[in-house]
Chains A and B, each alone.
Chain A
């Protein structure tokens, strides 16, 4: 006869698990805590006092707004470029067979496997050689290189599940290429594109290395934070920004989770 299996883990394992989780998340709580500290020059523990004044200070700092707007713009445009190009590329690689298909697949994925510093240096020297001035658009291009990868990876996996005969069936029933894309392909890959797009946005939003090589005078939000940490004054402003960014990015990720969880139902719900 089998002995009763205990459903509870040994005490040592529980402590180890709690310790691991604490190590991961307590530093994040500390970021939150120091957003409320009254001491602005150093992060001393425990904080000498708590205040809400840094929220007002942050709100009134134009450099915060400039960095945030730049980051949102860059991430939005880079994601849009990635959605179009990544989807087209995934369609070509998964639906047709042509010479060099595997090579193209590898080359598209390569930017995410390469260290960011290599991509950054390569783009920087390419831009200087072509005499392209560093600007907003060079940052967007730099970000698009790795945003395409995540969209492509998500889309290509879903395209493989959309069997080729679905597209043929649609054409057979009288739908031209555009109607087939709208009524058959898009509903079937929509949630994959949403997930890929969100990931791409998040990747672009906190990118530092490629941005430092491809940016001109502008600083995106992560670069602004990096610079801010070196300055001894008004340090809690950085914490306030970090906290707000976390809360703001958490909501779309939560939304994406619920959207993709029962994506099969949502995909055709509008019809």
Chain B
């Protein structure tokens, strides 16, 4: 089966800056794929390479088996939902959604009908006559989605699609995007710096740093079995234990990751590993308490359920966790 998007050794260098550096990537048709990373990691440049706004300085890109280098954005069967939505302020919502069909020469009645259907699909029926300035952020987001989907793209690209929305709306849109993608069967590729968003929506995630893919896998893989210190730290803010601590635990490894919520304070029984330490800070986060513990000069973060008692700062505690939660890493 042909891949929806294929990157072979793709690079995009801006002078000395290697925005994207020798990336290999294969996104399957119908997949909901996330590119996750901090700003400047190369994830947005990858998206722009797929859309055609950037051309690679090296390597080869295919979209559904067709070579993409040198093909301008308006001849690619991909559409983009922009971070700032980029709705045309001088056109009505209906004309915005019908724009792609209009420039392709689709007749007026037909494109009007298609645009109205697309607006109904994103739950904004009857909003056609308004202007972008009269809509809320969440509504504009839906219009941008409808405007892209009305063209029936083979791949839909979403650039930080939920970045500008408030928390409640973001959670709601995450579910809607997911179910929309399921029902349409279109390949979705989205860029985000929010690991929670990537974990909850994507089928697979590529974690970017410094223009390279650090790890590619399912959300569970990425979260539970980070391969590098960067992934452990960026996704789920795992603790990274040094080789010295690993040795004390009787687990020989260069480094190991341990998620904050896998650690319990003060209770340990036989089959568990335990570490002594001193509490240095604590803060209340709602569902959990975040406790910093110093173990021989290394800081370990514990996410302790709010129902559990929280030790005082300066108290000596025992940290307990299961061997199964300790994930060994290849590199330090």
Q: Which residues of A contact B (CB under 8 A)?
A: 163, 165-166, 168-176, 179, 183-184, 187-188, 264, 267-268, 271
Checking A166, A183, A187, A268 against B86 with a beta-carbon cut-off of 8 angstroms, the contacting residue is A166
Q: What's the minimum C-beta distance from A166 to chain B, rounded to whole angstroms?
A: 5
- Complex interface: chain B residues within 8 A of A169 (CB): 80, 82, 86-88
Chain B contact residue count (CB 8 A cutoff): 28
- Complex interface: chain A residues within 8 A of B78 (CB): 172
Checking B74, B83, B95 against A174 with a beta-carbon cut-off of 8 angstroms, the contacting residue is B74
Contact B104 A174 (CB under 8 A): yes
Tell me whether B89 is interfacial, beta carbon within 8 Å: yes
Contact B99 A170 (CB under 8 A): yes
Most buried by A among B52, B84, B90, B104: B90
Give the nearest-CB partner of B75 in chain A: A174
B 89-107 binary contact with A (CB < 8 Å = 1; else 0) = 1111001000110111000
Q: What's the minimum C-beta distance from A170 to chain B, rounded to whole angstroms?
A: 7
Bound CA–CA A166/B84 (angstroms):
10
Contact A163 B84 (CB under 8 A): yes
Contact A165 B82 (CB under 8 A): yes
Contact B73 A184 (CB under 8 A): no
Give the nearest-CB partner of B53 in chain A: A168
| Known contacts A163-B84, A188-B90, A271-B95; A171 and B104 CB within 8 A of each other | no
- Complex interface: chain B residues within 8 A of A179 (CB): 103
Contact A268 B95 (CB under 8 A): yes
Given A171-B53, A173-B79, A175-B99, output 18 extra A-B contacts at Cβ < 8 Å: A163-B84, A166-B88, A168-B82, A168-B86, A171-B72, A171-B74, A172-B51, A172-B52, A172-B79, A172-B80, A173-B103, A173-B148, A183-B102, A187-B90, A188-B90, A264-B90, A267-B90, A271-B95
Contact A188 B89 (CB under 8 A): yes
| Known contacts A165-B82, A166-B86, A168-B73; A173 and B95 CB within 8 A of each other | no
Tell me whether B43 is interfacial, beta carbon within 8 Å: no
Q: What's the minimum C-beta distance from B228 to chain A, rounded to whole angstroms?
A: 33
B 18-43 binary contact with A (CB < 8 Å = 1; else 0) = 00000000000000000000000000
Q: Which residues of B contact A (CB under 8 A)?
A: 51-53, 72-74, 78-80, 82-84, 86-92, 95, 99-100, 102-104, 147-148, 151
Checking B79, B84, B103, B148 against A165 with a beta-carbon cut-off of 8 angstroms, the contacting residue is B84
What are the 10 tightest A-B residue pairs by CB atom distance, in nearest-first order? A173-B100, A268-B90, A169-B86, A165-B86, A175-B103, A171-B73, A267-B90, A187-B90, A172-B80, A174-B74
Bound CA–CA A12/B130 (angstroms):
51
Give the nearest-CB partner of B51 in chain A: A172
Give the nearest-CB partner of A263 in chain B: B90
Most buried by A among B80, B87, B88: B88
- Complex interface: chain B residues within 8 A of A168 (CB): 51, 53, 73, 80, 82, 86
- Complex interface: chain A residues within 8 A of B83 (CB): 165
Bound CA–CA A106/B78 (angstroms):
40
- Complex interface: chain A residues within 8 A of B84 (CB): 163, 165
| Known contacts A165-B86, A168-B53, A168-B73; A173 and B91 CB within 8 A of each other | no
Q: What are 20 of the A-B contact pairs (CB < 8 Å)?
A: A163-B84, A163-B86, A165-B82, A168-B51, A168-B73, A169-B86, A169-B87, A170-B99, A171-B52, A172-B80, A173-B74, A173-B99, A173-B148, A174-B100, A176-B72, A183-B102, A184-B88, A268-B90, A268-B91, A268-B92
Q: What's the minimum C-beta distance from A222 to chain B, rounded to whole angstroms?
A: 38
Contact A173 B90 (CB under 8 A): no
Bound CA–CA A173/B82 (angstroms):
12
Bound CA–CA A171/B89 (angstroms):
16
Contact A172 B90 (CB under 8 A): no
- Complex interface: chain A residues within 8 A of B89 (CB): 188, 264
| Known contacts A163-B84, A169-B82; A174 and B90 CB within 8 A of each other | no
- Complex interface: chain B residues within 8 A of A175 (CB): 74, 99, 103
Contact A183 B103 (CB under 8 A): yes
- Complex interface: chain B residues within 8 A of A268 (CB): 90-92, 95
Checking B73, B87, B104 against A172 with a beta-carbon cut-off of 8 angstroms, the contacting residue is B73
Bound CA–CA A184/B72 (angstroms):
18
Q: What's the minimum C-beta distance from B299 to chain A, rounded to whole angstroms?
A: 41
Q: What's the minimum C-beta distance from B243 to chain A, rounded to whole angstroms?
A: 47
Q: What's the minimum C-beta distance from A71 to chain B, rounded to whole angstroms?
A: 35
- Complex interface: chain A residues within 8 A of B90 (CB): 187-188, 264, 267-268
